[in-house]
Amino acid sequence: MSNSAQTIPIGKITLHQLRMTLKSPFSTSFGTFQDKDFFIVEIDDGEGNQGFGESVAFSSPWYSEETVKTNEHVMADFLIPLLFEHDIHHPDDVTKIFSPIRRNQMAKSALEGAVWDLYARRMQIPLADALGGTKKEIDVGISIGIQPTVEDLLTVIGKHVDEGYKRIKLKIKPGWDIDVVKKVRQKFPDIPLMVDANSAYTIQDIDHLKKLDEFNLMMIEQPLAHDDIIQHAKLQKEIETPVCLDESIHSCEDAKNAIELGSCKIINIKIGRVGGLTESKKIHDFCKEHGILVWCGGMLEAGVGRAHNIALTALDNFVLPGDTAGSSRYWEEDIIEPEVVVQNGKITVPKKPGIGYKIDRSRLVKFRINKQEFTADSIKKNSI
């Protein structure tokens, strides 16, 4: 353990911009892509410890207003200077330090995650323990993008059911919904099944969405507008299938409002979407107090982001399987050692300090397309 545990010193921050290619294209109601650009944030305390975070914004603003380029701008020009200007005694402090900057949750999360990892490594405890997690293993599901044909979809589902995943999530959109789910249920009558609409419907589709009730789904995720909680409340009153909110929830305050209105019965917590692990934990705790189930969503992360998801899911109210599949589900090779492995639908929560995985430096360099380094001195020079 470091002798300077009272503060978390920051000697250098490095932004590694990576480009990795998914094993196969991923399609949602937003669109289709296969190459993913993102940042690995590395924070060095100058005492031999490094913490790592990962950005989850996509290259285009289809999931949220943030993109890889806006993340770079906000981190380099605003957030990183703020970190060097303030003393950090605990990772929770980062939320307050970043508060003058509005939204940009994914940029904030990438840096805050690296601080959390660094803190846990300095304390010589697993990140899951630092967050208050108690689970030794977590249940995981799989998210399946829109396939070329229903037959292709059934084949993919069968493969992942055989692999032991605890829940199957299907992406749906108008024209690829009721008939598709019906055929899936006919072939797989008993599997835990949910659908994700990524805001593809409106309240005028309420009678159509009611048809999903016959399929005994775990939930329908974000069927209506990405920034809505009012119409979702109206929908939830009319359908039996639990509504899960995703894109509508950017903070614990959003979660409180949605729960008070009856907009959902389940909330998907994505670390990047809500601004980091501190806010994720606050949402988890509030939902637990109010009987709302939560689960951890995925953003097609590489190993660092995947490791943060695992640590968060060790908290006890994550009772529904999340989207944190194994590394080999998406990547030919990941940037961590060992890679994340799923066995019988479960992932073992690492016991080593921090995120519990080692960064494979050779692969980090292999996939890196740009690198920027920041120190307190370099920021002072740039500000003159």
pLDDT at 384 over 60: no
Q: Which of these is catalytic: 36, 108, 171, 346?
A: 171
Give the whole-angstrom CA distance, residue 282 versus residue 314. 14
Which CATH architecture is the domain 12-124+360-383 placed in?
Answer: 2-Layer Sandwich (3.30)
Mean pLDDT of all residues in 173-195: 97
Identity of the residue numbered 115 = V
User: What confidence tier does 28 reach under pLDDT thresholds 50, 70, 90?
Assistant: low
What confidence score (pLDDT) does residue 29 get? 64
Please answer whether residues 232 and 206 qualify as being in contact, where contact means their C-beta atoms are separated by less than 8 angstroms.
Answer: no
Mean pLDDT of all residues in 107-111: 98
The maximal CA–CA distance of the chain, rounded, in angstroms, is 67
Mapped onto helix, strand or coil, the DSSP state of residue 2 is coil
Does the annotation count 358 as an active-site position? no
pLDDT at 356 over 70: yes
Give the whole-angstrom CA distance, residue 59 versus residue 37. 7
Predicted confidence (pLDDT) per residue in 39-70, tens digit: 999 999 999 999 999 999 999 998 899 999 99
Write the DSSP assignment of 33-90 as a string of letters. EEEEEEEEEEEE-SSS-EEEEE----SSTTSSS--HHHHHHHIIIIIHHHHHHS--SS
Show the tokens assigned to 117: 């990892």
Which CATH architecture is the domain 130-359 placed in?
Answer: Alpha-Beta Barrel (3.20)
What confidence score (pLDDT) does residue 3 get? 40
Q: Which of these is catalytic: 166, 270, 281, 346?
A: 270
Considering the entire predicted model, what is its pTM? Answer: 0.94
338 prior amide bond cis, ω within 30 = yes
Predicted confidence (pLDDT) per residue in 202-231, tens digit: 999 999 999 999 999 999 999 999 999 999
Length of the chain: 384
Show the tokens assigned to 223: 């069927």
Predicted confidence (pLDDT) per residue in 226-281, tens digit: 999 999 999 999 999 999 999 999 999 999 999 999 999 999 999 999 999 999 99
Does the annotation count 169 as an active-site position? no
pLDDT at 4 over 50: no
Give the whole-angstrom CA distance, residue 123 versus residue 117. 10
Give the whole-angstrom CA distance, residue 105 versus residue 110. 9
Give the whole-angstrom CA distance, residue 372 versus residue 109. 18
Domain ranges of the chain: 12-124+360-383, 130-359
Q: What percent of the chain has pLDDT over 70?
A: 97
Q: Where are the alpha helices (DSSP H) in the chain?
A: 68-74, 80-85, 92-98, 105-123, 127-131, 150-162, 178-187, 206-210, 230-238, 252-261, 271-274, 277-289, 303-313, 361-367, 376-383
Please answer whether residues 321 and 141 qualify as being in contact, where contact means their C-beta atoms are separated by less than 8 angstroms.
Answer: yes
Mapped onto helix, strand or coil, the DSSP state of residue 112 is helix
Q: Do domains 12-124+360-383 and 130-359 have the same CATH topology?
A: no
- Residue 349 DSSP class: P
Write the DSSP assignment of 177-226 as a string of letters. SHHHHHHHHHH-TTS-EEEE-TT---GGGHHHHHGGGGG--S-EE--S-T
What confidence score (pLDDT) does residue 383 get? 61
